[in-house]
C-alpha cells in the first residue's frame, strides 16, 4: 500500500501545476467553510449569549397555556404559590442548574403625569434575576445598576418618548386578575436598554412592588427563568426538568408546568437555524467544488495515462490495485487540500481575532466577533473533503481498472 | 516440450458493422526455451497473435494453450494473475512508467504484482540490471535515458519475475542498428542464462536473422515457417 501511495504521489507531481491548482481550489474551499463556520458560530453564540444572559435565561417554566397567550401577559395563567413552591423544590433538586429567577409579568399603563403609555412590567428578586441573567446590569444605561424597592427601571424607548429621567416620579397603573385597577407611584431608578421586539417595552421593579400593584395577597408567578451551569447540557436538563415536572397534574389530569428552552421562546432561534442552514449549504458547495475539481483532474489523468494503465495491467497488476492507485491519487489530493485549507483557516481566524471585527446587533453596538476553530469542525470538514475526493476519483478509477489492457495498449 | 500450442486460432474484430478477420485458423507450437519470431507486413496479424498468447485478448475460435493452461477460458482476473506469474512483456515504445526510476520500474512487478520480499527483490533487480548494463543508471528516470537504455530496462522488467515466456512486440523498431543488435544480444543471453522463451513480432530483418525460428504471417494466415537449429517446430 505504501508503494501505491508513493506511485500515486509521484503521478500527482507529474502534473505539478494542475495538482497545485486543484489542491489550492480545495484548500480555499476548506478555508472559506472553516472561517465561515468559525465566524458564524461566534456570531451565533454571542447572540444567544446576549439573549439568554441579558433577558431570557437558558430555560423558562410557565404554567401550561401561558406561552400561547404570552403577548397579553395573562395574570390568570400565573403559577400559584403552592405550584411555585413545588417548582422551586424540583429546580433545586437538579444539579445542572446554577440559578433561577421567578418573575411576575404584567402589562400596565405608565404615566409621567402629563403623558401615558403602555408598559410591560417584570417584578423580580434582583439578586436572583442578576444570578440568572448576569448581563442584566450591563443593560442599565443610566442610574444605579440595581433594582430597589419603590423604584422602577424603565426602558430607554419610554424614557425618550416621555422624556423621563432618573429620579423622576412616575405612576404605574395595572388591572389585576380580578379586574380591579390599581396604581402606584415609583421613582425612576434607572433607564434600561431596550431590546428588539416586544421586550423593548419591558420595565423592571422589585417583585413585592409588583405584588402591590396587582394587589396580590400571596405570590403568583408568571414565569421562572433558569440558568444552567453548562449551556451545552441544555437539552439534557430540559428533558430532566420536563420529566420531573410532568408528574404534577392539574384537575383535568394534564401537566401543570410547561418547560421550554430559549430556542422555543426567542425568534432569534430561527436566525440561528438559518445560520446553520447556510453553513450546511456552504458545505454542500464545498463538496461540489471538491467533486467537480477532483473528478475533472482524475478523468484527465486516466485519459492521459491509458497506455500506462495498459502496461501495468499487461504485466499483471490486478484491477483492484489499479483502482486503488487512482483512488489514492484522489485521496491524496483531498487530504492535501484539506490540510492546507485547515492551516489557512487557522491563520485567517487568528488574524480575525487580532484585528477584532466588531458588529452591531439591534441596539447593541460594538460586539466583538471572536471566531474560534473547533477541532471537531476541522476534522468533520476534512473528512467530508476526503470522502468527496475518493468518491470523485471512484468513477475514473473504476474506468481505469476495467480497461481492457489490449485496448489500452493500442491507445495513441 | 511445447510451451505455446495454438490450433485453428481465429480472431475476428468487429469495427462498426464490418468484421475484420485478423487471424485465420493459425496453428503452431513453440517449444520451451526457444527464440522465435513472427514476421510479416503491417496488418498481417502479428500483434494480434502476440496479444492472444499474452492473454491480453481472447480468440474468437480455436484453442490456445500457454504453459499447459487453456488461456482462452481465463477470466479477466485469472488472466492478470497468469500474466503476472508466467509472462513478461517488452513493448515497441518501451512503456516504462515515467514516474518511477530505472530501479523502481524493474521492481514494480515484484512489488505490486508478485509481493516478493525486499531482500529477494534487491538481489534479483541488481543481478538483472547488471546483466543489461543498467546498474549505473538505476536512479535515473525514463526521461533521462536513451531509447536503447529504456529497452534494456524493459527487458529487465520483463525478466525480473522469472517468467516462462517473454513476448516482445517490435522490440527494435524504435532503435538504431547498433542498439537493436545490443538489445537482441541481451535477450539471447537472457534466454540462455534463464531458459526463458522469447517470442517476437517484428518486420525487422536484423531480428529475424538472430532468431531460431521464424513464422511468417500474411493477411492473418501462417504462410511459411523456418526452423533454425531444429529447436522449434510447427
In this complex, the residue of B56, B108, B112 whose CB is nearest that of residue A406 is B56
* B233 domain-assigned: no
Whether A110 has a pLDDT exceeding 90, the answer reads yes
> How does residue B230 score in pLDDT terms, banded at 50, 70 and 90?
very low
Q: Give the per-residue pLDDT at B224.
A: 67
Closest Cα partner for B179 from B216, B133, B211? Answer: B133
Q: What is the average per-residue pLDDT within A359-370?
A: 73
**Any chain A CB within 8 A of the CB of B80?**
yes
> Are B77 and A319 an interchain contact pair (Cβ–Cβ within 8 Å)?
yes
Q: Are residues A346 and A216 in the same domain?
A: no
Q: Are residues A150 and A287 in the same domain?
A: no
* B86 domain-assigned: yes
Whether A40 has a pLDDT exceeding 60, the answer reads yes
Q: Give the per-residue pLDDT at B106.
A: 96
What span, in angstroms and rounded, lies between the C-alpha atoms of B55 and B64? 10
Structurally, chain A folds into a number of domains equal to 2
Closest Cα partner for B53 from B68, B66, B34, B40? Answer: B66
Q: What is the average per-residue pLDDT within A338-364?
A: 87
Residues of chain A contacting B97 with CB distance shorter than 8 Å: 7, 308, 311-312
- Whole-number mean pLDDT of chain B? 88
- Smallest CA–CA separation between B57 and chain A, in Å? 6
Q: Are residues A9 and A148 in the same domain?
A: no
Counting residues of chain B whose pLDDT is more than 70, the rounded percentage is: 95
A261: cell is 428552552
**C-alpha dist (Å) from residue B228 to A35, A106, A131, B24:** 77, 116, 106, 25
Strands (E) located in A36-180: 59-63, 97-111, 116-124, 140-143, 151-155, 169-175
* B234 domain-assigned: no
Q: Are residues A192 and A287 in the same domain?
A: no
- Smallest CA–CA separation between A401 and chain B, in Å? 11
* A354 domain-assigned: yes
Q: What is the average per-residue pLDDT within A328-342?
A: 94
3-state secondary structure at position A167: coil
**C-alpha dist (Å) from residue A267 to A70, A197, A200:** 14, 9, 14
Closest Cα partner for B158 from B101, B90, B96? Answer: B90
* A58 domain-assigned: no
In this complex, the residue of B77, B93, B112 whose CB is nearest that of residue A3 is B112
Q: What is the average per-residue pLDDT within B34-48?
A: 89
**Any chain A CB within 8 A of the CB of B74?**
no
Helix, strand, coil shares, percent, chain A, to 5: 60, 20, 20
Q: Give the per-residue pLDDT at B182.
A: 82
A270: cell is 430561527
- Whole-number mean pLDDT of chain A? 90
Q: How many CB pairs under 8 A join A and B?
A: 71
3-state secondary structure at position A284: helix
- Smallest CA–CA separation between A20 and chain B, in Å? 17
> Are B91 and A311 an interchain contact pair (Cβ–Cβ within 8 Å)?
yes
> How does residue B234 score in pLDDT terms, banded at 50, 70 and 90?
very low
- Smallest CA–CA separation between A314 and chain B, in Å? 7
Tell me how long chain B is.
234
Q: Are residues A291 and A402 in the same domain?
A: yes
Contact status, residue B113 vs residue B86, Cβ threshold 8 Å: no
Range list of H helices, A246-374: 268-304, 306-314, 319-355
> Are B109 and A14 an interchain contact pair (Cβ–Cβ within 8 Å)?
no
Give residues 6 to 65 of B whose Cβ lies within 8 Å of A.
51, 54, 56-57
Interface test with A, best of B75, B80, B150, B161 (most A CBs within 10 A): B80
Q: What is the average per-residue pLDDT within A288-300?
A: 89
Give residues 318 to 337 of A whose Cβ lies within 8 Å of B.
318-319, 321
Q: Are residues A279 and A232 in the same domain?
A: no
- φ, ψ of residue A79 in degrees (nearest 5): -85, 135
Tell me if the pTM is above 0.80: no
Domain boundary among the residues A220, A255, A290 is at A255
Give residues 385 to 404 of A whose Cβ lies within 8 Å of B.
404
What span, in angstroms and rounded, lies between the C-alpha atoms of A254 and A347? 55
In the block, residue with C-alpha cell 522469447 = B198
Closest Cα partner for B84 from B47, B119, B122, B111? Answer: B111
Q: Are residues A228 and A358 in the same domain?
A: no
Whether B231 has a pLDDT exceeding 50, the answer reads no
Q: Give the per-residue pLDDT at B81.
A: 93
Whether A334 has a pLDDT exceeding 90, the answer reads yes
Contact status, residue A294 vs residue A386, Cβ threshold 8 Å: no
Q: Give the per-residue pLDDT at A152.
A: 95
> How does residue B186 score in pLDDT terms, banded at 50, 70 and 90?
confident
Residue A49 Cα to chain centre, angstroms? 9
Please indicate whether residue A3 or residue A140 has the higher confidence score (pLDDT): A140
Structural domain for A287, as ranges = 2-51+270-410
> Are B97 and A308 an interchain contact pair (Cβ–Cβ within 8 Å)?
yes
Q: Are residues A246 and A276 in the same domain?
A: no
**Any chain B CB within 8 A of the CB of A232?**
no
> Are B112 and A13 an interchain contact pair (Cβ–Cβ within 8 Å)?
no
* A395 domain-assigned: yes
**What pLDDT, in 10s, does the model give residues B104-163?**
999 999 988 888 899 999 999 999 999 888 999 999 999 999 988 999 999 999 999 999
Q: What is the average per-residue pLDDT within A235-254?
A: 88
* B184 domain-assigned: yes
Please indicate whether residue A177 or residue B122 has the higher confidence score (pLDDT): B122
Beta A116-124 vs A181-192: how paired, if at all?
unpaired
> Are B77 and A318 an interchain contact pair (Cβ–Cβ within 8 Å)?
yes
Residues B74, B80, B86, B90: is their CA dihedral positive or negative? positive
Q: What is the average per-residue pLDDT within B62-79?
A: 91
CATH number of the domain that residue B167 is part of: 3.40.50.300
- Smallest CA–CA separation between B116 and chain A, in Å? 13
Please indicate whether residue A193 or residue B56 has the higher confidence score (pLDDT): B56
Whether A101 has a pLDDT exceeding 70, the answer reads yes
**What pLDDT, in 10s, does the model give residues A365-397?**
777 888 999 999 999 999 999 999 999 999 999
Structurally, chain B folds into a number of domains equal to 1
Q: Are residues A184 and A101 in the same domain?
A: yes
**Any chain B CB within 8 A of the CB of A135?**
no
Contact status, residue A172 vs residue A119, Cβ threshold 8 Å: yes
Residues of chain A contacting B76 with CB distance shorter than 8 Å: 319
Q: Give the per-residue pLDDT at B232.
A: 41
What span, in angstroms and rounded, lies between the C-alpha atoms of B75 and A302? 24
**What pLDDT, in 10s, does the model give residues A256-282?**
899 999 988 887 888 888 888 998 999
Q: Give the per-residue pLDDT at B225.
A: 65
Whether A190 has a pLDDT exceeding 80, the answer reads yes
In the block, residue with C-alpha cell 519470431 = B37
Whether B228 has a pLDDT exceeding 90, the answer reads no
What span, in angstroms and rounded, lies between the C-alpha atoms of A138 and A363? 13
Residues of chain A contacting B158 with CB distance shorter than 8 Å: 315
Q: What is the DSSP string of B132-171?
A: TT-GGGTT--GGGS-HHHHHHHHHHHHHTT--SEEEEEST
Contact status, residue A203 vs residue A162, Cβ threshold 8 Å: no
Q: Are residues A39 and A98 in the same domain?
A: no
Q: Are residues A333 and A363 in the same domain?
A: yes
Taking the CA atoms of residue B43, residue B49, residue B55 and residue B58 in that order, the dihedral angle to the nearest 10 degrees is 80
Rounded to a whole number of angstroms, the distance between the first and last alpha carbons of chain A is: 30
> Are B51 and A406 an interchain contact pair (Cβ–Cβ within 8 Å)?
yes
Give residues 184 to 213 of A whose Cβ lies within 8 Å of B.
none
Residues of chain B contacting A321 with CB distance shorter than 8 Å: 112
Lowest mean pLDDT among A351-355, A404-408, B203-207: B203-207
* B232 domain-assigned: no
Residues of chain A contacting B109 with CB distance shorter than 8 Å: 315-316
Residues of chain B contacting A308 with CB distance shorter than 8 Å: 95, 97-98
- φ, ψ of residue B8 in degrees (nearest 5): 50, 45
Residues of chain B contacting A411 with CB distance shorter than 8 Å: none
* A299 domain-assigned: yes
Lowest mean pLDDT among A161-175, A275-289, A349-363, B30-44: A349-363
> How does residue A198 score in pLDDT terms, banded at 50, 70 and 90?
low
Contact status, residue B128 vs residue B108, Cβ threshold 8 Å: no
In this complex, the residue of A13, A316, A409 whose CB is nearest that of residue B80 is A316
Q: Give the per-residue pLDDT at A154.
A: 94
Q: Are residues A115 and A140 in the same domain?
A: yes
* A59 domain-assigned: no
* B216 domain-assigned: yes
Residue A320 Cα to chain centre, angstroms? 46
> Are A317 and B54 an interchain contact pair (Cβ–Cβ within 8 Å)?
no
Domain boundary among the residues A189, A222, A255 is at A255
What's the half-sphere exposure (Cβ side, CA atoms, 13 Å) at A275? 16
Tell me how long chain A is.
412
Structural domain for B122, as ranges = 2-227
* A265 domain-assigned: no
Residue of chain B with shortest Cα separation from A403: B76
Q: What is the average per-residue pLDDT within A130-151?
A: 90
Q: Residue B151: how many CB atoms within 10 A of its CB? A: 29
In this complex, the residue of B57, B77, B113 whose CB is nearest that of residue A315 is B113
Amino acid at each position: 500500500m505504501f508503494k501505491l501511495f508513493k506511485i500515486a504521489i509521484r503521478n500527482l507531481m507529474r502534473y505539478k501545476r494542475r495538482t497545485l491548482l486543484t489542491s489550492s481550489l480545495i484548500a480555499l474551499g476548506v478555508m472559506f467553510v472553516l472561517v465561515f463556520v468559525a465566524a458564524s458560530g461566534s456570531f451565533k453564540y454571542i447572540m444567544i449569549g446576549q439573549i439568554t444572559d441579558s433577558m431570557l435565561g437558558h430555560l423558562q417554566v410557565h404554567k401550561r397555556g401561558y406561552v400561547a397567550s404570552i403577548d397579553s401577559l395573562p395574570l390568570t395563567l400565573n403559577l400559584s404559590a403552592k405550584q411555585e413552591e413545588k417548582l422551586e423544590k424540583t429546580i433545586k433538586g437538579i444539579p445542572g442548574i446554577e440559578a433561577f429567577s421567578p418573575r411576575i409579568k404584567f402589562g400596565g399603563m405608565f404615566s409621567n403625569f402629563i403623558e401615558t403609555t403602555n408598559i410591560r412590567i417584570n417584578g423580580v428578586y434582583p439578586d436572583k434575576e442578576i444570578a440568572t441573567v448576569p448581563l442584566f446590569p450591563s443593560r442599565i444605561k443610566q442610574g444605579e445598576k440595581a433594582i430597589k424597592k419603590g423604584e422602577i427601571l424603565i426602558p430607554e424607548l419610554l424614557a425618550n418618548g416621555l422624556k423621563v429621567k432618573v429620579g423622576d416620579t412616575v405612576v404605574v397603573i395595572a388591572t389585576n386578575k380580578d379586574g380591579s385597577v390599581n396604581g402606584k407611584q415609583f421613582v425612576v431608578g434607572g433607564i434600561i436598554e431596550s431590546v428588539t421586539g416586544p421586550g423593548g417595552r419591558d420595565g423592571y421593579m422589585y417583585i413585592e412592588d409588583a405584588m402591590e400593584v396587582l394587589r396580590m395577597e400571596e405570590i403568583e408567578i408568571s414565569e421562572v427563568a433558569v440558568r444552567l451551569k453548562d449551556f451545552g447540557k441544555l437539552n439534557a436538563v430540559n428533558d430532566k426538568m420536563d420529566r420531573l415536572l410532568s408528574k404534577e397534574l392539574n384537575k383535568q389530569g394534564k401537566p401543570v408546568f410547561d418547560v421550554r428552552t430559549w430556542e422555543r421562546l426567542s425568534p432569534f432561534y430561527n436566525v440561528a437555524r438559518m445560520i446553520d442552514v447556510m453553513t450546511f449549504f456552504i458545505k454542500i458547495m464545498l463538496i461540489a467544488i471538491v467533486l467537480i475539481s477532483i473528478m475533472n483532474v482524475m478523468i484527465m489523468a486516466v485519459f492521459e495515462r491509458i497506455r500506462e494503465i495498459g502496461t501495468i495491467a499487461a504485466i499483471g497488476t490486478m484491477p483492484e490495485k489499479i483502482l486503488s492507485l487512482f483512488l489514492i491519487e484522489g485521496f491524496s489530493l483531498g487530504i492535501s487540500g484539506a490540510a492546507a485549507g485547515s492551516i489557512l483557516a487557522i491563520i485567517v481566524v487568528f488574524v480575525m481575532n487580532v484585528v477584532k471585527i466588531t458588529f452591531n446587533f439591534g441596539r447593541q453596538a460594538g460586539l466583538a466577533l471572536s471566531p474560534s476553530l473547533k477541532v471537531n469542525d476541522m476534522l468533520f470538514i476534512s473528512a467530508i473533503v476526503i470522502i468527496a475526493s475518493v468518491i470523485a476519483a471512484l468513477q475514473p478509477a473504476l474506468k481505469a481498472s476495467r480497461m481492457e489492457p489490449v485496448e489500452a495498449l493500442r491507445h495513441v | 516440450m511445447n510451451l505455446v500450442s495454438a490450433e485453428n486460432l481465429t480472431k475476428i474484430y468487429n469495427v462498426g458493422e464490418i468484421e475484420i478477420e485478423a487471424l485465420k485458423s493459425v496453428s503452431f507450437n513453440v517449444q520451451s526455451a526457444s527464440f522465435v519470431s513472427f514476421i510479416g507486413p503491417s496488418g498481417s496479424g502479428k500483434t494480434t497473435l502476440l496479444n492472444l498468447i499474452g492473454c491480453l485478448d481472447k480468440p474468437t475460435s480455436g484453442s490456445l494453450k500457454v504453459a499447459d493452461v487453456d488461456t482462452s477460458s481465463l477470466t479477466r482476473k485469472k488472466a492478470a494473475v497468469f500474466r503476472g506469474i508466467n509472462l513478461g512483456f517488452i513493448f515497441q515504445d518501451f512503456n516504462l512508467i515515467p514516474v518511477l526510476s530505472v530501479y523502481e520500474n524493474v521492481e514494480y512487478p515484484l512489488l505490486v504484482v508478485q509481493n516478493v520480499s525486499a531482500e529477494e527483490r534487491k538481489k534479483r533487480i541488481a543481478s538483472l540490471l547488471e546483466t543489461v548494463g543498467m546498474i549505473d543508471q538505476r536512479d535515473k528516470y525514463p526521461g533521462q535515458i536513451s531509447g536503447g537504455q529504456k529497452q534494456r530496462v524493459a527487458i529487465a522488467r520483463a525478466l525480473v519475475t522469472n517468467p516462462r515466456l517473454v513476448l516482445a512486440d517490435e522490440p527494435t523498431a524504435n532503435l538504431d542498428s547498433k542498439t537493436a543488435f545490443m538489445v537482441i544480444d541481451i535477450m539471447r543471453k537472457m534466454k540462455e542464462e534463464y531458459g526463458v522463451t522469447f517470442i517476437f513480432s517484428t518486420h525487422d530483418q536484423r531480428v529475424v536473422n538472430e532468431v531460431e525460428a521464424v513464422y511468417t504471417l500474411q493477411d492473418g494466415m501462417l504462410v511459411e515457417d523456418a526452423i533454425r537449429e531444429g529447436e522449434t517446430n510447427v
